[in-house]
Every structure is written in structure tokens, then in C-alpha cells.
Amino acid sequence: MSGQATTLTLLGVLLRQPEQLLASDDEAAERDRLALLTPKLLGITVMGAAIFGLVIGSYRGELQYLYAAIKTPALLLLPVLIGLPAIRAFFGACELEIAWSRLALAALIAVARTAVLAAACGPVLWLYLSLHPDYHRAILAMSACLIAVGGPGLWTLLRALPSGGRHRPLASFASLVVLGVLLAQSGWLLRPFVVRPRAEVDFLRPVEADVFSSLASTRRSANGDYRGWDARPGGLLGSRRDLAEPPEAQP
Amino acid sequence: MHGTTISVHPPPSATAYPIGSTAPLSSPTPAPLRGQDLCVALLGLLALGGAAALGGSSAGPGLRLLPSVLLVELPALALTAPALIAVHQFLGLAAAPEQLAAGLGRALIHAGRVAGGLAIVVLFFAATTRLATPMLVVSLAAVGVFSSATACVELTAAERRAGTVVAPLFTLLLIGWLGLSWLVALRVGVDVASWVLGFGRLGA
């Protein structure tokens, strides 16, 4: 590869050989590299995820284009931001002391790669959504896309960490669980992404219930049990309003 | 696209830290335990309980959640570590008591770090859901798994440093100690949970 690279070249390296972006000889060089690459990688993440968000927003249209495009980058970045200290501790407990700079760079590369791949999925997803599928099918299609592009992203993150260390699979497994749970709850917190065609468009729904109770309710509904769902305000940020009618679960 | 250009060349000495490199395993002579590390570990354990306490629905149980992780981890270790060291010496195995104690100390440090990392995750759930307590229980189990794994590695390394080979008896002892530790931790956990919920008192 040539010595100098523009953002497009960086994009190519990100997709073809992301490990090249990590190679460095010492921690100071890694810090320099992190400082140099962070704006570019964040820019790529925001652009890629925003494109994916625009596609999701197309299911409802109007303001949802903008809302989904703004929220999707946060959906990818928030879980990593919250989960990174835990991931570092997991690997530390398995004899792999990873420098913060390296871990942060690895995470940024993984998220940026995921975002670019998500954007690449955009045309296919848009084509499907343009056929006006059922709301639940639209959500399934979005989830399938996210799973399909999230896999390579997570793999990039795990491969970017140095190998070795006893019980490394334990740390990798715990990291995947933490990131998966955080991604699910972040998606719930930042909902709605896919909005029913006739539903009101909100930027964010009130902080209430959680993703797991939503999934349980959906499962009950799928089995023909429509008892409703007690979506009470949740956590410190939850609003204190009484819910006269439980709202419908929408991821 | 124009603007700042960046080098994507791996530097000449990139092989010093390449993908797929093998990070050093436990060093032959581990660094001595530092009080600062132990304090940070204890703070991590406290932070995990504190994060869940912030999501507690009422003041009493919420406040009692604060030391709950410490109250499970430390007594479980304090009750089982002397037994391990005593039986180890009784069986005439290689490592010295202080080496075993240092290994357990390092396991506690890692447990505290894992707890500190998970505290942020629990805090996120405490802020946005009513799942702070279930998340605390899951995190506590994760801390237990990681401290067990680290203790196994550290104790085996201590034994290997003291003798050339690890005797099968040591492996047996380690497995027995792990089982005992989990049983004691579960028993202590039940007591602490009762105390947190207000149905019991500690030490009863």
C-alpha cells in the first residue's frame, strides 16, 4: 500500500485488512495512531450508520428519515462506549492486559466497519421496505441486517485484541454477551427506528420497561395471548407518569 | 476526498504487536501485590453494588445493595482461602503459603476490576430500566466466574513455580476448593439477599 491515504483509502483498508490499522510498535505510537484515526473513523461510522438509518426511516417517511439517521450512529456507539471497561476487565482477568489506546482503536475500527457494512446493506433493505412489508417483517428485516453486519464487526474487535491468555474464550464470550445485551437495550432506549405507517413519529419514546419484557410480550402475542403489557417507567431516567393504557411494544 | 492524509502503513516494527501475536502469559516471577491495586479492586466491588443501589426502588434495600457485592465476595474468599492453604500444606504440595495467598490476592484484584467494568453496565440498566437488581445478580455471577478462572491460573502458576510439575493431587484440591468456594458464596449470597430485602439479618 502507498504511504499516504485519504479517507477512501482508509475505507478500503477498513474493509479489506482492518488489522493494518492497528499495527504499531509501542503504546505511544498507538496513542498517536488513535488520535490520528479517531476523527476519520468516527466520521465513517456516522456516515455509514446514518445511511442505514435513512433506509430504516424510509418505512415511515417524513421526519423519521431524519430521526433514524441521527439515532442509528448512537445505536452503534453507545454499547461499545458503555461496555469497553468491562471488556478490558474480562481480558485482564484472562492475562491479557490491553492498553486503553489499543482497545479504543480496535473498538472504533470494529464499529466503523459495522457501519460501512450496514450502509452496504442499505439498498437491499430499502428495496424490501419499499414493498411495504408487514410491520413485524420490517423489524425482522432490520434485525437480520444488523445481525449480519454486527457479526463481522464483533469478529473484528475480538481479532484486533492480542491472542494468547488462558481462558481467552471465556473473556470473548463474556464480551459478546455484554455487547449483545447493551446493543439490545440501547436499541430499546433509542426506539423507534421502524415506525408503523400510520403511527405518530417521535424522536424518542419515554424511558419505560425494557427490551426483555418487550420481547416476552411479543412472544406472548405471537402465541395468541394478548393480555397487554405493563410498560411502567423504568430506572432513574424513567418518567413518573402513570400509564393509563399500556403502549404497544415497538422496537 | 481531500484533507489530512494518514499513513496506513504498518510501521517497520509492527511485528512487535501484530494480530495473532501471543501475549505473554503469566510471568515466572509475578509482580508483588500492591495495596493500591487491592483498594481499587475493593472500590470496584463497591461500585458494582452502588450502581445497582441507584436503581433500587426504595431507600432501605437500595442502600443495603451498596455493600452487597463486597459482602458476598470477601467472606467467601475469607472463609475458603485459609482452608485451601491449610489443606495444601497438609498434603505436602510444593507452593509456599505466601505464594498461594498472593495468587488469591491477584484473583481478588481481577475480580474487582471486572466488577468495576460491569458497574458501568449495571449503571446503564439502573438508569433506563427496573432491571438493576437482576443485572447485579448476573454481574455477581460473572465476577465469580472470572475470579474462579483467575484463581485457578494464579494458583497453578504458583504451584508450577515452586515445583517442576503440578501434582494430580493439586488439581484435585483445586477442583474441590472451587466447588466449596461456590457453595459458600451461594450460601453467603442467600444471607446477603435476605438482609438486603429486609427478611433477615447478617450473621444470623
pLDDT in tens, B33-45: 788 889 999 999 9
For CA atoms A142, A239, A180, A22, the dihedral sign is positive
pLDDT at B58: 66
Interface residue of A236, A237, A243 to substitute, partner B, most B CBs within 10 Å: A236
Q: Whole-angstrom Cα distance, residue B18 to residue B14?
A: 6
Q: Tens of pLDDT along A188-233?
A: 889 888 888 777 888 888 877 788 887 777 767 767 777 766 667 7
Q: What is the mean pLDDT of residues B12-27?
A: 39
Q: Tens of pLDDT along B80-127?
A: 999 999 999 988 898 899 999 999 999 999 999 999 999 999 999 998
Query: Between chains, do B124 and A185 touch, taking CB under 8 Å as contact?
Result: yes
Query: Between chains, do A13 and B8 touch, taking CB under 8 Å as contact?
Result: yes
What residues of B are in contact with residue A232 (Cβ under 8 Å)? 130
Name the residue with cell 464470550: A173
pLDDT at A166: 78
Query: Between chains, do B128 and A166 touch, taking CB under 8 Å as contact?
Result: no
Is it true that the peptide bond before A85 is cis, omega within 30 degrees of 0? no
SS3 B68: helix
Q: How far is A189 from chain B (nearest CA, A)?
A: 7
**pLDDT of B204 higher than 60:** no
Query: Between chains, do B24 and A82 touch, taking CB under 8 Å as contact?
Result: no
Phi/psi region, residue B93 (left: phi>0; alpha: psi -120 to 50; beta: rest), is beta
Q: Whole-angstrom Cα distance, residue B70 to residue B63?
A: 13
Q: Tens of pLDDT along B153-199?
A: 999 999 998 887 888 999 999 999 999 999 999 999 999 999 888 87
A129 touches chain B (CB under 8 A): no
Judge whether A157 and A106 are in contact, CB under 8 Å. Answer: yes
pLDDT confidence tier of residue B22, bands split at 50, 70 and 90: very low
pLDDT confidence tier of residue B4, bands split at 50, 70 and 90: very low
Query: Between chains, do A5 and B6 touch, taking CB under 8 Å as contact?
Result: yes
pTM of the entire structure? 0.79
**pLDDT of B55 higher than 80:** no
Q: How far is B169 from chain A (nearest CA, A)?
A: 21
pLDDT at B47: 95
Burial class (CB in 10 A: 0-12, 13-18, 19+), A42: middle
CB burial readout B55-90, b (16+ within 10 A) else e? bbeeeebbebbbbbbbbbbebbbeebbeebbeebee
Question: Which among B172, B117, B116, B178 is positioned nearest to B149, based on CA atoms?
Answer: B178
What residues of B are in contact with residue A86 (Cβ under 8 Å)? 114, 117-118, 120-121
pLDDT at A62: 85
Name the residue with cell 419484557: A213
Burial class (CB in 10 A: 0-12, 13-18, 19+), B100: buried
Q: What is the mean pLDDT of chain A?
A: 83
A236 touches chain B (CB under 8 A): yes
Q: Whole-angstrom Cα distance, residue A232 to residue B70?
A: 31
Burial class (CB in 10 A: 0-12, 13-18, 19+), A242: exposed
Judge whether B169 and B93 are in contact, CB under 8 Å. Answer: yes
Pick A25's closest partner by Cβ from B3, B14, B120.
B14
Query: Between chains, do B146 and A90 touch, taking CB under 8 Å as contact?
Result: yes
For CA atoms B80, B85, B90, B95, the dihedral sign is positive
| Ranges of residues in chain A whose predicted pLDDT is under 70 | 1-5, 23-25, 219, 222, 228-231, 239-251
Pick A163's closest partner by Cβ from B12, B21, B130.
B21
pLDDT confidence tier of residue B24, bands split at 50, 70 and 90: very low
Q: Which of residues 77-136 of B touch A (CB under 8 A)?
A: 110-111, 113-118, 120-121, 124-132
Q: Whole-angstrom Cα distance, residue B130 to residue B135?
A: 10
A26 touches chain B (CB under 8 A): yes
B21 touches chain A (CB under 8 A): yes
pLDDT at B63: 82
The grid coordinates listed for A160 are 484486533
B142 touches chain A (CB under 8 A): yes
A75 touches chain B (CB under 8 A): no
Q: Tens of pLDDT along A180-191?
A: 899 989 998 898
